[in-house]
Structure 1
Amino acid sequence: MGKIYAVGVGPGSPKYVTEIVKQVIKECDIVIGYKYTLKTIEEIIKGKEIHEITMNDQEEAYQKVLPRLGDKKLVIPFTGDVNFSESEVVDRLIEIFGEIEIIPGISAIQVVAAKAQVPLDKSKVITMHVTTPIEDKKLEMQKALIDGFSVILVPRPWPKQPDKHFMPSEIAAYLESNGFNIASMKVHVFEELTTENETVFEGTVKDLKGKEFSDLSVVVFNQAKLDSYMNYRWQWEN
C-alpha cells in the first residue's frame, strides 16, 4: 500500500502551513479533506486528485480510495493540529489504512494563547469538539476555573441536536446554573483565526448569553497573573 499522511495545516491562513507539511502535500497524489481545510491549502493542491468531504460522507470517500491506492501517496489534511480534537478521525484512518504518518500543525489553541497572552503552562486546554459525552469535560472546566487556571476551550457546535449543542451561549448558561458569577468573569471568543474574517469578542461571560458564534470559535477564560523570574531570586542569589 502507498503512504498515508495525516497533516495539520494550521488555523486558517496559508501562512500558518509549515514547510514540512507543504512539502508532503506537494509530493502527494490524492487529497481528502473538508472544504474549509482544503481552502487553506488550495494553492498547493492544484492538479491533485481531490475529494471534498463532509462528516456524513467521509467514510465513503476513504473506502472509495482504499482499493485503488496502490503505491500512491494520500494526504488527509486537518485544520489546526492533527493531535488535538481529531483523535476520532485519526483512529478511524488507522483502522482503514493501517499505518499512517502524522505530521503536526499549528493549532488554534496556540494562536489564541498568544493573542490573549495566556501561558499554556498555566492553563487548562479543554475540547468539547467530540461526539462522546462531555459531562466530565464540563466538570473539568468548572474545577479549572475554581482552581484559578485560565481555560482555553473549544466548544461543540451541534445545532441539529440541541442537547449536544454547547457553544458560548450554552457555556454561559451552564456556568451560571452552577453558581458562577458570570457577570464578573472575563472572556474572549476568537472566530476564524488568522483569516481575513477573524473576529474577537471581549467581555464577560454574561454577555455571551444569547449570542451566536461560528463553528470556528475558541473561548478563552483568562485568569493568568504575572509571575516573572524576579519572584524567584533564590535561583541566582546566594
Structure 2
Amino acid sequence: MAKLYVVGIGPGGREHMTYKAVEVIKKCDVIVGYTPYIEYLGDLVEGKELFSTGMKGEIERCKAAIKIVKKGKDTAIISTGDAGLYGMAGPILELAEGIEVEIVPGVTAAFSAAAELGAPIMHDYASISLSDLLTPWEVIENRIEKAAEADFIITIYNPKSKGRKYHLEKAIGKIRSHRSGKAPVGIVKNSGRGEREITITTLDEIDYDKVDMLCVLIIGNSNTYLKDGYIVTPRGYNII
C-alpha cells in the first residue's frame, strides 16, 4: 500500500535536512509542494513526478497528494521548516481518509535562526505568525500582548508583506510596552540558505524597511543579552 509522507525539509539548505527527510524524498515516486520549496531540493527530485502550486495553493496540494497516494504511488508533500509548524501536517491529517500518513519532522526556521544568532531561545518562548490570512489580527495582537507580558522569548514568523506593511511595527509596539527598548532582537533573512543575512539590533532600533517575508525575528526576554557578537538568553545555571 502506498504511503503519504509529510516532510519538513528544514529552512532550505540541504545541510539542514534530516537524514530521514532525505531518505524519504529519495524513495518517493512523487513530490508535492510549493514551487520554490521543490527547487530547494535540487537533484533530489530528478526523475520524479512533481506537483507544485504557487502561494495560497496549500489545500489544492494536500488534495492532490492524497489523490496520488490512492493511485498507489508513494508521495511526499513538503514544507519548509517543520511540517507541523505552519506547515502541511495539520491539513493533511484533517483531509486524509483511508491512507497511511507519516509525519517527518524538520528543523524550524526559529531554531535555524537561533543557531545562527547564538543561543537566544534557551528558555520558554512563543512562536507567533503575523500573517492574518487564516487568523484574525485581533487574535494575533492578543497573543503578542500576552506573550510579552509573560516575558516569553518571542519568535515572529511572516513579519511583513506587501499587504501587511505596518503589522510588525504594531506588534513591536505591543512588546515594547512590556519590555525594555534595549532588548536584543535577532533578524535573520534566508536562514539556512546561501544568501543568508543576519542583523542583531534592539527593539528600539529595528529597521523595518529591511524586514520582509523571508525574515524571522527572535526577540529576547528581560534577561537576554549580547556577548561577543552572540545573543544569549540565560537558562538559570550557576555559571562560575
- Normalised-by-shorter TM-score class: 0.7 to 0.9
Q: Given the alignment of the two structures, is residue 216 of structure 1 paired with residue 214 of structure 2, yes or no?
A: yes
Q: Distance in 2 between matches of 1:204 and 1:21?
A: 36
State the identity as a percent: 21
TM-score, normalised with respect to structure 2:
0.79
> How do residues 115-194 of structure 1 correspond to structure 2 at under 5 angstroms?
115-129=117-131, 131-159=134-162, 162=163, 165=164, 170-176=167-173, 180=177, 183-194=181-192
Alpha-carbon spacing, 1:207–1:109, altered in 2? closer, same or farther (3 Å): same
Instruction: Pick closer, same or farther for the CA change 1:29–1:179 going to 2, 3 Å.
Output: closer
Change (3 A) 1:170 1:63: closer
Q: Residue in 1 aligned with 2:48?
A: 48
User: Of the two, which has the highest radius of gyration?
Assistant: 1
Per-residue deviation, 1:177: 6.8
Going from structure 1 to structure 2, the CA distance change for 1:209 and 1:53 (only over 3 Å counts) comes to: same
Residue number in structure 2 paired with 1:101: 102
Matched residues in 2 for 1:112 and 1:179: separation?
22
Number of equivalences:
224
Cα deviation digits, residues 13-72 of structure 1 (max 9, x gap) = 110111111111111111111123112212211100012211344544555565554211
| TM-score normalised by structure 1 residue count | 0.79
> Is it true that 1:31 corresponds to 2:31 in the alignment?
yes
Residue 44 of structure 1 aligns to a residue whose secondary structure is helix
Q: Match for residue 81 of structure 2?
A: 80
Inter-CA distance 128–29: structure 2 relative to 1 (3 Å threshold): same
Give 5+ residue unaligned stretches, structure 2: 225-232
Say whether the 8 Å CA contact 1:10–1:79 is kept in structure 2. yes
| CA RMSD, 1 decimal | 2.9
Cα pair distance change 1:182/1:148, threshold 3 Å: closer
Following TM superposition, by how much is the alpha carbon of 1:183 offset from its aligned partner in structure 2, in angstroms? Answer: 4.6
**Kept in 2: contact 1:188–1:201 (CA 8 A):** yes
SS at match of 1:121: coil
